[in-house]
Structure 1
Amino acid sequence: MKFVLCALLSLLLMSCGSLRNEVSPGTLIGERDQLVVTCYLSPQDTVLAVKVTRSQSVLEDELQTVSSRNVVDATVTLSDGSRSAVLTYDNTTRPQSLRPYYNIRASAMPIIVGRTYTLTVVTPQGERATSTCTIPGAVNLTGVTFDSLQSGNSQRYFVRARWRDEAGRPNYYQTTGVFWFTADCATCPKDTSSLTTSDFAYLSFDDDNRGLFVDTDLDGTEMISGRAYLNGSNLNPGLPFMYRYQKASVTVNLLNVEQTYYQFWSAVVRQRRVRNNPFAEPVIIPSNIQGGLGCFAGYNTASKNLVLR
């Protein structure tokens, strides 16, 4: 009996082994790379910027740099139906974040609520990518609340955003913000060394979708964001807030965004959440770029500043 069992196991292992075949990457027909276009338009913009790159296949060299995929010779055109503007690629523009973008001043193509814009990207190789977006109106914040909770031996401080949803239509939102602070230990207990630091930190909201909201089942009601912790300074975390900072304020932004913006970034958030899990279900990133990949969307921003110290 033991011999029969061992024989069966041996046959099973041999069968499993026969299912594994070495495949040379050179024998695979790789998908041609595609244009990847990213652009977001808002009436608050001072510069209109478009990012154009190429997609990367899983068979490509993983060490290939992001900059090597930048498309620098495309013709990028933005139109509002009555006039057009050509954006130029500028690798010397300051600040640094604008360097790999095609851009123009917003005064050359004002972004107006309710207007539809068309983006067209054409390369010397004959590739063409297009998309449209419509600019939504702003939704004002009704308040920004400051609160705290006990975490171990220290107190953690956070803010929440509040706003009233526009009734009668589906709406999509994103909350963002900045914590501005000056940490000054001259106001701390005498046994602490004196140090003054002026800086800022971007807010990160802890709700399930990382600051993205849809008004499903909440039409016309008050909406409340998750908590955005004020992690601007790790100096003396056990002290009350007023002793940690000489000055402190927070700016919270409410972005009223298009559905395409919400769908794209919601998928990105889900992908980042599971990307290190080999057993997670793949997340498909949606695209509204015809002839390419990416996202072209409009949004409108309302902001509120709260002085904390």
Structure 2
Amino acid sequence: MRRVYLILVLLPFLFYSCEEMVTNVDVPQSEPHYVLHAYLSCEDSVVTVTAGKSKPVFGEQTTDTSWVAQAHVYINDFELTRVPNTYYQFSCPVNAFEVVAGETYTVALRIGSETVCSGKCTVPLSMNETLTFDGLDSVQYDEYEGQAYYDYYALFSFVDPAGDENYYRIGAEMSYYDEFSGDTTVIQMYPSSENFLKDILFDGEDYSGRLLINYFESISSLVGLKLILYTTDNNYYYYHRAILSQSGDDPFSEPVTVPSNVDNGLGCVAAYRKFALKVF
């Protein structure tokens, strides 16, 4: 009885403590950093680099963009041209600057004459060209008033070269007929983090998977399909995996550490090879 009485006496104090608002949390301050995003490939017709500046969650917020007018982007000391009508994109055609397989490139952002951040990557020497299309699959996920609704998947497989540490990304390009507008629409599909692959579990073996492609009312509206297999470097793999792992809307999900190979800055400088398989 005495124990129950003691609990009843303490309960009001416990509830009172729950009402106390904690206001003296020492939140770590951070500063804005320059950001670089560059993805180099032999298969692209244009080399593009995006530069920017981060906005820290905790710390002094600034809207100063005076640095933009003084920004210059270089790849191995070759200066890219600012894209017209943009502030942060720089590019050049591949006939002005050729990206070569197996070569290492350094991407640098200079403000005036000072290099404020830079990153480097090596273009994969070879790309995997063994991608095959293994058919379409469907899974019914709902039924309403006698109408069945399906998820559609493209089945694929490829062979991983043995001995090397390889990184991949699977994507698709779909063309479908829109019955309402009468137009044919093309959608590029680059799904979530599970479509980034590392061959640690299938080195030198066949890999089979499926890719969700249901961006149309019925499979009959799909008039074109192209599967794309990217052979990437580790910078591309780890950065995109981290970003996509934190792209959901779950407020209780754990934070993800986003890696960066940009010295004195944030972002990613990476390289990839691109093999496209036209299915129909």
The alignment's TM-score, normalised by the length of structure 2, stands at 0.84
Which residue number corresponds to residue 190 of structure 1?
A: none
SS in 1 for 2:131: strand
Q: Which has the higher strand share?
A: 2
Aligned AA (2:137): S
Q: Does 1:106 align with 2:83?
A: no
Unaligned stretches of 5+ in structure 2? none
Q: 1:265 aligns with which of 230, 233, 240?
A: 240
Aligned AA (1:199): T
Aligned AA (1:285): V
Q: Does 1:53 align with 2:52?
A: yes
Q: Distance in 2 between matches of 1:286 and 1:7?
A: 52
Shift in Å at residue 140 of structure 1?
Answer: 0.5
Shift in Å at residue 68 of structure 1?
Answer: 6.7
Q: Does 1:176 align with 2:171?
A: yes
Pick closer, same or farther for the CA change 1:281–1:301 going to 2, 3 Å.
same
Which residue number corresponds to residue 128 of structure 2?
A: 139
Shift in Å at residue 230 of structure 1?
Answer: 3.7
Q: Distance in 1 between matches of 2:101 and 2:117?
A: 24
Shift in Å at residue 155 of structure 1?
Answer: 4.7
Give the alignment of 1:111-260 within 5 angstroms.
Answer: 111-124=99-112, 126=114, 128-136=116-124, 137-151=126-140, 152=143, 153-183=148-178, 196-205=182-191, 209-231=193-215, 233-234=216-217, 237=218, 241-242=219-220, 244=221, 248-260=223-235
Shift in Å at residue 54 of structure 1?
Answer: 1.0
Contact 2:135 2:156 in 1 (8 A): no
Q: Distance in 2 between matches of 1:61 and 1:251?
A: 47
Which residue number corresponds to residue 250 of structure 2?
A: 276
Q: Does 1:5 align with 2:7?
A: yes
The alignment's TM-score, normalised by the length of structure 1, stands at 0.76
Report how many aligned residue pairs link the two structures: 271
Shift in Å at residue 138 of structure 1?
Answer: 1.1
Pick closer, same or farther for the CA change 1:258–1:69 going to 2, 3 Å.
farther
- 1:97-122 Cα deviation digits (max 9, x unpaired): xx741111222210111001111112
Q: 1:74 aligns with which of 71, 92, 104?
A: 71
Aligned AA (1:226): R
Q: 2:82 aligns with which of 89, 114, 119?
A: 89
Contact 2:137 2:153 in 1 (8 A): yes
SS in 1 for 2:9: helix
